[in-house]
Amino acid sequence: MASPVTSPDEGAFKTPKNVRVRNFSSNGGTPVTIPASPFMKKLGCGTGVNVYLMDRAGKVNASPWAVKKINSKCATKQLAVYQKRLNQEAKLLKGINHPNIVGFRAFATAKDGSKCLAMEYGGEKSLNDLIEKRKEDGLEAFSAAAVEKVALHVARGLQYLHNEKRLLHGDMKSCNVVIKGDFETIKICDVGVSLQLDENMKVSDPKAEYIGTEPWKPKEALEEEGGEITDKADIFAFGLTLWEMMTLAMPHLEMLTYSFCVPEDSLEDSFDEDAYYERLGTRPALDAEALGSSYRRMVELFYLCTEEEPKKRPSASQIVQALEGNSQTPSEVIVVD
pLDDT in tens, 116-131: 899 998 677 899 999 9
Q: 103 in the Ramachandran plot: left (φ > 0), alpha (ψ -120 to 50) or beta?
A: beta
Return d(Cα 72, Cα 108) in angstroms, integer: 16
Give yes or no on whether 37-120 and 125-326 have one common fold.
Answer: no
Confidence of residue 326 (pLDDT cuts 50, 70, 90): low
Q: Is the pLDDT confidence value at 58 over 50?
A: yes
Confidence of residue 194 (pLDDT cuts 50, 70, 90): very high
Please give the pLDDT value at position 17: 46
Please state, rounded to an integer, the average pLDDT across all residues of the chain. Answer: 83
Please give the pLDDT value at position 13: 37
Write down how long the chain is: 337
Catalytic, out of 137, 171, 205, 337: 171
124, 178 contact by CB (below 8 A):
yes
**DSSP-derived 3-state class of residue 97:** coil
Locate the domains of the chain by residue range: 37-120, 125-326
CATH class of 37-120: alpha beta
Q: Is the pLDDT confidence value at 280 over 70?
A: yes
Please give the pLDDT value at position 312: 97
Q: Is the pLDDT confidence value at 268 over 90?
A: no
Q: What's the average model confidence in pLDDT over 251-275?
A: 59
Please give the pLDDT value at position 264: 45
Q: Is the pLDDT confidence value at 269 over 90?
A: no
248, 134 contact by CB (below 8 A):
yes
Angle at which helix 144-159 crosses helix 232-247, to 10 degrees, equals 160
Please give the pLDDT value at position 16: 44
241, 127 contact by CB (below 8 A):
yes
pTM for the predicted model, two decimal places: 0.82
DSSP symbols for 230-282: BTHHHHHHHHHHHHHHHHSS-TT-GGGS--TTS-GGGHHHH--HHHHHHHTBS
pLDDT digits (tens, 9 = 90+) for 246-256: 999 999 986 55
171 is known as an active-site residue: yes
CATH class of 125-326: mainly alpha
According to the per-residue pLDDT averaged within each range, which of 79-83, 208-212, 269-273 is highest? 208-212
Q: Is the pLDDT confidence value at 259 over 70?
A: no
DSSP symbols for 100-143: TBPPEEEEEE-TTS-EEEEEE-SSEEEHHHHHHHHHHTT--SPP
- pLDDT more than 70, % of the chain: 77
